[in-house]
């Protein structure tokens, strides 16, 4: 049986899925047609129910929980892993003054309106409404070129922005942790509810095996990870993996589920998302 599978070319995702798609673990008769996309493209595909299995932002998951169920394995949660709101250091004083206004006209580059990063930005800075979506990897250069006043960065850009003379205005991960005392839920792996429950459970099992294999054989997928990381320095690549792949990626567990449930509860209370009627998770 062949299933369509979408995930990003970022090191954390290629690290997680290498063993699965290259049959380094027993896939129990399943094969996968893989699509590599940035997170917002994956979010949009999920909204249109395009793929059988996909990575997506937890914010986006709120809108597709009737179509997809969340796996216990493969998620990106953790402490100290949140998105950063950055600006050019030379503009910091002006921006801080404008943020005191009720309706600042600061131009903000975001990696996607359905990203969890944008959800957190809306909670921390509801007055920032002049937002433009661009590909996450282009945000730093857009700030350097003064196309935008502020940028919301995710993934490996948290390791590179300072080299370009950019300044951290707010760590939205720290903001979340102080507010909730939970790990920050960034992205998860979901499976179509249209698939038979036994296939959903098998996928859940296989993704966990793939993550466990990656942890046991961390260099096994190096060439595959490098291929998709493009020009990324290897040290940065492994920092990225260490930051986003952890015990929650093997199994959400009680703490991981609590963090996700808290995210959706806050989002519903703040009327960022509609209420969710479906159980979020793959049936055990």
8 belongs to an annotated ligand binding site: no
46 belongs to an annotated ligand binding site: no
Name the active-site residue from 59, 91, 155, 240.
155
**DSSP letter (8 states) at residue 217:** S
CA distances 166 to 28, 128, 136, 235, Å, are 48, 19, 15, 21
Is residue 240 flagged as an active site residue?
no
Closest CA relative to residue 88, chosen from 139, 129, 146, 128: 146
DSSP E strand stretches across 141-270: 150-153, 166-171, 184-192
Nearby residues of 221 by Cβ (< 8 Å), 6 or more positions away: 14, 15, 18, 19, 22, 214
Q: How far apart are CA 21 and CA 9, in angstroms?
A: 13
Backbone φ, ψ for residue 117 (5° rounding): -55, -45
Closest CA relative to residue 122, chosen from 266, 257, 265, 260: 266
220 belongs to an annotated ligand binding site: no
55 belongs to an annotated ligand binding site: yes
100 belongs to an annotated ligand binding site: no
Q: How far apart are CA 93 and CA 89, in angstroms?
A: 9
Q: Annotated binding site: which residue ranges?
A: 55-57, 116-117
Active-site positions read 155
Q: Annotated binding site for substrate: which residue ranges?
A: 55-57, 116-117
């Amino acid at each position: 049986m062949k299933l369509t599978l979408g995930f990003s070319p970022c090191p954390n995702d290629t690290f997680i899925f290498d063993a699965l798609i290259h049959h380094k673990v027993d896939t129990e008769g399943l094969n996968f047609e893989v699509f590599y996309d940035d997170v917002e493209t994956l979010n949009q595909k999920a909204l249109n129910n395009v793929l059988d299995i996909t990575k997506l932002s937890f914010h986006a998951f709120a809108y597709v929980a009737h179509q997809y169920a969340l796996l216990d394995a493969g998620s990106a949660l953790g402490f100290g892993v949140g998105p950063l709101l950055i600006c050019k250091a030379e503009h910091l004083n002006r921006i801080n003054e404008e943020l005191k206004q009720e309706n600042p006209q600061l131009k903000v580059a975001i990696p996607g309106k359905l990203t969890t990063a944008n959800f957190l930005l809306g909670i921390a800075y509801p007055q920032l409404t002049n937002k433009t979506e661009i590909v996450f990897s282009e945000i730093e250069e857009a700030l350097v070129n003064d196309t935008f006043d502020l940028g919301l960065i995710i993934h490996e850009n948290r390791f590179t922005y300072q080299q370009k003379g950019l300044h951290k205005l707010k760590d939205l991960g720290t903001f979340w942790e102080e507010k909730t005392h939970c790990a920050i839920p960034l992205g998860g792996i979901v499976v179509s509810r249209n698939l038979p429950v036994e296939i959903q459970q098998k996928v859940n099992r296989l993704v966990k095996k793939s993550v466990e294999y990656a942890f046991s054989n961390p260099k096994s997928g190096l060439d595959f990870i490098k291929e998709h990381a493009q020009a990324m320095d290897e040290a940065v690549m492994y920092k990225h993996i260490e930051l986003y792949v952890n015990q929650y990626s093997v199994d959400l567990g009680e703490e991981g589920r609590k963090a996700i449930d808290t995210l959706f509860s806050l989002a519903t209370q703040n009327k960022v998302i509609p209420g969710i009627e479906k159980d979020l998770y793959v049936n055990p």
